[in-house]
Structure 1
Amino acid sequence: METAWSLLGMFVTALTAATILPAQSEILFVGLQARGTVSLWLLLAVASAGNILGSVINYLMGMGIERFRQRRWFPLTGAQLDRAQEWYRRWGVWTLLLSWAPFGDAITVVAGILRTRWWVFLALVSLAKAGRYAVLAGVTAGFV
């Protein structure tokens, strides 16, 4: 039962970390890997799935965010939002490979705003997110 709770916690933390909410999934991932009570492959799959789903939430939010652009409570100015969109247009969908980075959440939102093809978005984000956890697992294995 403890393993199930650990994996659920990993999924929720990874999902939250991929959204605009503040969270750090790497700490829990490394801790669970170091304990060795969860299969590494299962841990990789659960963490990746949660993180990818968080990015999908960002993408969907991006698809509907334009209608709130002029609201006073909106966290970005029109100019900031325009700049982010121009940056994404300039560098293209390959920037989604940086979705694992701390600023990657913003990239996934902009991808939704600009209606990046769904399959391209999902493929590149999945590669980036799963790759990040695989590298983290490899680094952690070198120390454990």
Structure 2
Amino acid sequence: MDQPWVQTLLAWLALPEYGLSTVFVMSLLSATLLPMASVPFVYGLVELNPSLFWPALIVATAGNTAGGVVTYWMGWGAERAYEKVAQRAPREARALAWLQRWGPPACLLSWLPFVGDPLCGVAGWLRLPFWPCVVYMAIGKFARYLVYVGGLVWAFPWATGS
């Protein structure tokens, strides 16, 4: 590891000085079906290191999108198993029809609490096109971090020294 850029990258991702790796992992986990929120971790990092506002949002978006991709593939696999076992209920059929109608742009809503993560799974379940779903997930998740963390930084400027 004699390359200076490698040392710089490792220092940038190191814990606890910056915590970007923690933000990535927490964002990834919170985008699966685990009931947790990543915004407090992102805001906490930005509060401790205001200069990391944009890197934190980008890392959190990458982690949350990766978690959405995991959920997408879980849904893809679950659909195959479900079709062999059960019949769809009318209410579930309406939700699936809605998602089929909107297609990948519906993944913009993947940032919503409670329904966003299962939405990624249903997108996989329906086998919506993978890459367009990933792009829409990333846009929605980035917008969420920008609004939530940016709003907190704006509302509490004294906390970040801004």
Q: How many residues align?
A: 139
Which residue number corresponds to residue 68 of structure 2?
55
Which residue number corresponds to residue 17 of structure 2?
3
Which residue number corresponds to residue 96 of structure 1?
107
Which residue number corresponds to residue 118 of structure 1?
130
Percent identity over the alignment?
A: 37
Q: Is the 8 A contact 2:23 2:59 kept in 1?
A: yes
Matches within 5 A, 1:31-42: 31-36=44-49, 39-42=52-55
Of 33, 43, 58 in structure 1, the residue corresponding to residue 56 of structure 2 is 43
Structure 2 unaligned segments of length 5 or more: list them.
Answer: 1-13, 158-162
CA pair 9-71 structure 1, distance change in 2 beyond 3 A:
farther
What TM-score do the two structures reach when normalised by structure 2?
A: 0.76
Aligned CA-pair RMSD: 2.1
Q: Kindly state the Cα deviation for residue 105 of structure 1 after the two structures are TM-superposed.
A: 0.9
Cα deviation digits, residues 45-65 of structure 1 (max 9, x gap):
111111000000011111111
Q: Distance in 1 between matches of 2:20 and 2:142?
A: 16
Q: Kindly state the Cα deviation for residue 43 of structure 1 after the two structures are TM-superposed.
A: 0.8
Which residue number corresponds to residue 134 of structure 1?
146
Q: Kindly state the Cα deviation for residue 68 of structure 1 after the two structures are TM-superposed.
A: 2.8
Q: Is the 8 A contact 1:63 1:114 kept in 2?
A: yes
Cα deviation digits, residues 25-82 of structure 1 (max 9, x gap):
011111111112661121111111110000000111111112332669xxxx842653
What TM-score do the two structures reach when normalised by structure 1?
A: 0.84
Structure 1 unaligned segments of length 5 or more: list them.
Answer: none
